[in-house]
Amino acid sequence: MNNPATTNNASDGAELEHRILAFAQEHPELGQAAVAAKLRAEGFSISPSGVRYIWKKHDLETAIKRLRALAQQSPDGVDSLTESQQRLLERGNLTAHLTRQGSSTDNDTEITEEPLERRQMIINAAAELFSVSGYDRTSIRDIAAGVGLLPGSVYHHFPSKEELYLAVLREGFVSQMARIKMAVEAGSDPWEKLKLACQEHVHGIVDSSPIHRITGHNLALSDNLALQEKIKPYRQAYEDIFRQLIDALPTTEKVDRSLLRLFLLGGMNWIFLWYREGGKSGRQIADLMVDMIRNGVGPRPLQ
């Protein structure tokens, strides 16, 4: 098979390969189509598949691999990456880990090789519609209209509505886990850590983006058992955070920690059904819920 990145001049080919690898370092988050377009603007004759050929030759064919390589080359490691690059790398690593849990494939390309801006626009529009209308009453045509695309353009990024729904939930779970883990680090004791985690959880459901809202919805309600089974690895990873936090609480021996976790998550997840703007914020509600669990709701005994 011919090398799709080869030019008629060997020196030109070496220069082109050098520029492709330079883009992998300077702009690791860009996909092959975007890099090919920039190179063509510089006067090189190259296709997206030609860019991918060179990247694959150097084991750099996904954005996650390029970010990992960039971090490994720097003495500062991941800290050498920009904040957005660190978030992309964290999301990609976690997504790959969860995908391996849910299937036998090892795939780094889940969120990395499509043009990120358009892909994210589709995910955001889908999350909005799924959170308002539900999975069954939302169509690909509706989602495409929401971002000014033809349905075929959406199918180019996501082969089915189910895959798009899973991408929305995956994005929500990964983002919420990252936010909760960061919040918990500021806690000084087990109860404060739990409260901080609950604040982020409820904030995500009532005060945040549609992606986070749909994540909360899914944890509370869904009548699509097949989809629930595919989402299960992500839900388990998410709930494990609360399992660890509750296991660390200083409680009486009679407390059933598993039931406590289910009780707390169930109460928080149900908020999206009754919450109305204008009252307490999501974080205030979470504080009160944890305080009621910790201190009880009965009258204090007489001293």
The model's pLDDT over 234-278, given as tens digits with 9 standing for 90+, comes to 888 889 999 999 999 999 889 999 999 999 998 998 887 788 888
Domain boundary among 33, 61, 89: 61
Asked if pLDDT for residue 112 goes beyond 70, the answer is no
Q: Give the relative orientation of helices 210-220 and 225-247 as an angle to the nearest 10 degrees.
A: 90
Residue 96 is assigned to a structural domain of this protein: no
CA 165 to CA 171: how far, in whole Å?
10
Residue 282: inside a domain: yes
Judgement on whether residues 168 and 291 belong to the same structural domain of the protein:
yes
Is pLDDT of 70 > 60? yes
Considering the domain boundaries, does residue 112 fall inside one?
no
The answer to whether position 259 is within a domain reads yes
Residue 78 is predicted with a pLDDT of: 79
Q: Is 53 in the same domain as 163?
A: no
Q: Under DSSP, is residue 31 helix (H, G, I), strand (E, B) or coil? A: coil
Is 102 among the domain residues? no
pLDDT band at 134 (very low <50, low <70, confident <90, very high): confident
CA distance 262 to 180: 18
Amino acid 109: pLDDT: 42
- Which pLDDT tens digit goes with each residue over 172-222? 888 888 889 989 999 989 999 999 999 999 988 887 677 777 776 655 445
Q: What is the pLDDT of residue 104?
A: 42
The residues, ordered by sequence, that sit 6+ positions from 14 with a Cβ below 8 Å of its Cβ are none
Domain-embedded: residue 133: no
Query: Which CATH number is 184's domain given?
Result: 1.10.357.10
Distance CA 198, CA 8 (A): 61
Query: Do residues 57 and 164 share a domain?
Result: no
Residue 139 reports pLDDT greater than 60: yes
Q: Is the pLDDT of residue 7 over 50?
A: no
pLDDT classification of 11: cutoffs 50, 70, 90: low
Checking if the pLDDT of 302 tops 90, the result is no
With respect to residue 75, please indicate whether it lies within any of the assigned structural domains.
no
Q: How confident is the model at residue 84 (pLDDT cuts 50, 70, 90)?
A: low
Among residues 61, 76, 102, which one ends one of the domains?
61
User: Got the DSSP string for 146-185?
Assistant: HTT--HHHHHHH-SSHHHHHHHHHHHHHHHHHHHHHHHHT
Task: Give the domain extent around 38.
Answer: 1-61
Q: Would 173 be classed as within a structural domain?
A: yes
CA 73 – CA 54 distance, rounded (Å): 19
List, for residues 45-61, the tens digit of each pLDDT value: 888 888 888 888 898 88
CA-based nearest residue to 119, from 30, 35, 230:
30
Backbone phi and psi for residue 249, each to the nearest 5 degrees, phi listed first: -70, 140
Q: With cut-offs at 50, 70 and 90, classify the pLDDT of residue 108.
A: very low
Last residue of a domain, one of 61, 80, 101: 61
The one-letter amino acid code at 41 reads A
**Who's near 191: CB < 8 A, 6+ residues apart?**
249, 250, 290, 294
Reference 39, options 66, 3, 11, 12; nearest CA is 12
Quote the number of domains for the chain. Answer: 2
